[in-house]
Structure 1
Amino acid sequence: MAPPSPPVTAEERAVIARQLGRPPRALVGVAHRCPCGQPDVVETSPRLEDGTPFPTLYYLTCPRATAAASRLESAGRMREWQEELGRDPELAAAYLAAHESFLATRDARDVLPTRATAGGMPDRVKCLHALAGHALAAGPGVNPIGDRAVAEMGEWWAAGPCAQPSPTDPEDVR
């Protein structure tokens, strides 16, 4: 189970808002940093501020990482990996273990009224964004499909930080 993310600073919140193009919701912490140093995955509360269940614990924020995951989805990788889950019992067992790890981490934060999943786990490959976010936050070897997605997403950080400081954001003016 992943330890709780450290609290989010005002500067990180501003970067995440620029990445998303809106203020983040139910933000708990930065779960992973891109090699460029900026957040690329955040941890969200299992409930939104109004109490609505929000089962996606880890959320990709970097627009370049999000675009890379979208390209994999468009290329049919979800379908291919879904088919492989049905043929490969070792992959299916590792994916089930990833699901249990995800639920244990989320349930330690707050237990939702249903056992909703992320990314379709444990039976489906439904959202590479959620699976890649989980893989980045949990580290290599926890989510085999998420690890594959991250590996195939390429070096989304290679062009430098995706969210440049904005002179209109008070946190960014120095």
Structure 2
Amino acid sequence: MSEAVSPEDREVVARQLGRPPRALVGVAHRCPCGQPDVVQTAPRLEDGTPFPTVYYLTCPRASAAASRLESAGLMKQWQADLATDPELAAAYTAAHEAFLATRDAVDVLPTRASAGGMPDRVKCLHALAAHSLAAGPGVNPVGDRALEGMGEWWTAGPCAAAQDGSDA
């Protein structure tokens, strides 16, 4: 469940992204440093354009960690695992359905497509890790794998400095 977005959260997310956030609904997860690292977005952008990514990884350090996993070829490996591990595939399909239920509770889109390639592909570890952080462990098995591989990106402290130059 997402929490309300404070003006301070909105400012932090804008600094994390380097632009104003779009279709922001709530803070879906906070980094151990206290800043948002995953936000929930509306299923449609402000202009009505469908935006099927419900959970968006905002922390640049977490995003860089997910990118390193993608560069190392883990998406291809985990995609192969889906084809050979029926339990993993079933859990990933259940994660897709949970994701869609969250999205559909806000607005139903004309597509059943969801983030990260679910339920058939492993396409974006950023989206899958964001889903795992927001939903908690055990909901998205591929997102959980990504989080495990990403390490502790938060140990250096807050990723977005306050506008006055101090840590936010």
CA distance in 1, matches of 2:106, 2:69: 30
How many pairs are equivalent? 166
Structure 2 unaligned spans of 5+: none
TM-aligned CA deviation for residue 167 of structure 1 = 2.4
TM-aligned CA deviation for residue 113 of structure 1 = 1.2
Letter of the 1:32 partner, please give it.
H
- Cross-structure match for 2:145: 148
- Cross-structure match for 2:5: 8
- Residues 11-64 of structure 1: CA distance to partner in whole angstroms, max 9, x if unpaired? 000000000000000000100000111000000000000010000000000000
Q: Where in structure 2 are the equivalents of 1:1-174 lying within 5 Å? A: 3=1, 5-167=2-164
SS of aligned partner of 2:142: helix
Root-mean-square deviation over aligned CA pairs: 1.1
CA distance in 2, matches of 1:127, 1:54: 15
Structure 1 unaligned spans of 5+: none
| TM-score, structure 2 as length reference | 0.97
CA distance in 2, matches of 1:23, 1:116: 25
Letter of the 1:31 partner, please give it.
A
Runs of 4+ in 1 over 3 A off after TM superposition: none
CA distance in 1, matches of 2:17, 2:119: 28
CA distance in 2, matches of 1:164, 1:92: 40
TM-aligned CA deviation for residue 7 of structure 1 = 1.9
TM-aligned CA deviation for residue 6 of structure 1 = 2.3
